[in-house]
Structure 1
């Protein structure tokens, strides 16, 4: 049966040129939501795989481009994923890791999960969970797809309002049986979760909680995003309350 899955280590991975506390309200809201749902958050961290807005944007974009394309078939060489994995390993808290990445941070989150799995940082009793929010598309390894969620913002007419989610691809170059490179499209399996969140605004607005981002039902963008992630976790994890 493995170990109980009620203890969570929460890691928020920001995209490029992000303000230092851009995801802080989301982090605090996720802690509150997870606690209410019966989980215990052992540790939580804001991570900046490519640096925050104090670092030169060109350098960050260069590293993200590397991770989106060069590292797509070699995730263990991911720049942002490597930095994130190092920070996660340094946490040292016992619990299963929940990686939530916004924008380019979502690419780093998927690749960090591959690094952590390769290095066997967590055993089978502590499942890695990855959430991509408003992220460019990147390959998701088959072993991760059951514990992976992808979310993008849409308008009232259900049309996408986040152009960043149009970028990238889930395909990659692979060698066939003859050793020749072929492009293989890695489409997510039917059991994966891809959500379209009806939000006000677009790419930078998933975590807004002000009155400007309040819908007709009285819910803010932050409320909708937090609820979507928490509901997904509750239904996909084998939930067991500790005695």
Structure 2
């Protein structure tokens, strides 16, 4: 990944889901930050608990998560997790930042809701990474900037069950004017299933027995994320170069 400006700071907002331990995401955040630092970037990690950590009443958390999922499915703004994350980011935003939002479980729904709200206000988003997330509608402007990760336990081939919740679906009109349900209408373009040991809570484990083919779950997760981020940047650079060549061609045509 290329560092474009010495003044530019990458701020990674990592958002927790339901009843999460206070230190659960710390090692993941440090490992992801290390990738940027090795590439020469200035990086800062902010870990946020939009529904509270495991000390908060679980019934209240579930009610708020359900509300955010329902609002997302019906095109309404978040009242809880997404709203909380949006407010946090807006209160600390400055022009020299590039924002990367990463969410685990229900925190990934909050990340999508916050990213959508911020982009409507003109705030650029580097990308959104959903890990073990319920399915939620991705705003059209974010479709190509979202990486959706789920996992299969390599010991028993069981899938993480949480991504079965929610929906990407929506109604579409055919060329004949008939409305039909399209289950992938609001799905992210980039979707990858990770080979890990364990289940929903184990994407970030960095020790035995959470090792598959000489890689810990954390290493597997980080490698896929970093590869995607690098490819995303390369795609943006190619688009910028094409735009630049187009501008040069237009100027040459004007002189002719």
Same fold, TM exceeding 0.5? Answer: yes
Identify unmatched segments of 5+ residues in structure 1: 176-180
In the other structure, the counterpart of 1:223 is 219
Is the contact between residue 147 and residue 191 of structure 2 (CA under 8 Å) also seen in structure 1? yes
Flag the structure with larger Rg: 2
After superposition, the Cα gap between the structure-2 partners of 1:54 and 1:156, relative to the gap in structure 1 and judged at 3 Å, is: closer
After superposition, the Cα gap between the structure-2 partners of 1:51 and 1:182, relative to the gap in structure 1 and judged at 3 Å, is: farther
Select the residue among 135, 141, 144 that pairs with 2:142: 144
Q: CA RMSD in A?
A: 2.7
How far has the Cα of 1:237 moved from its partner?
1.8
Select the residue among 101, 112, 115 that pairs with 1:113: 115
> CA offsets, 1:74-103, max 9 Å, x none?
342342101001111122343111000000
Is the contact between residue 169 and residue 182 of structure 2 (CA under 8 Å) also seen in structure 1? yes
Q: Which moved more, 1:84-93 or 1:49-58?
A: 84-93
> CA offsets, 1:140-164, max 9 Å, x none?
1111011100001113389453100
Helix, strand or coil for the counterpart of 1:187?
coil
Structure 2 counterparts to residues 9-28 of structure 1, below 5 A = 9-28=11-30
Structure 2 counterparts to residues 51-62 of structure 1, below 5 A = 51-62=52-63
Helix, strand or coil for the counterpart of 2:167?
coil
The one of the two structures with greater contact order (alpha-carbon pairs below 8 A, sep at least 6) is: 1
C-alpha distance in structure 2 between counterparts of 1:105 and 1:39, whole Å: 25
TM-score by structure 1 length? 0.84
How far has the Cα of 1:118 moved from its partner?
1.9
Is the contact between residue 64 and residue 80 of structure 1 (CA under 8 Å) also seen in structure 2? yes
> CA offsets, 1:102-153, max 9 Å, x none?
0000111001111111222x2xxx4341000000000011110111000011
Select the residue among 203, 206, 211 that pairs with 1:206: 203
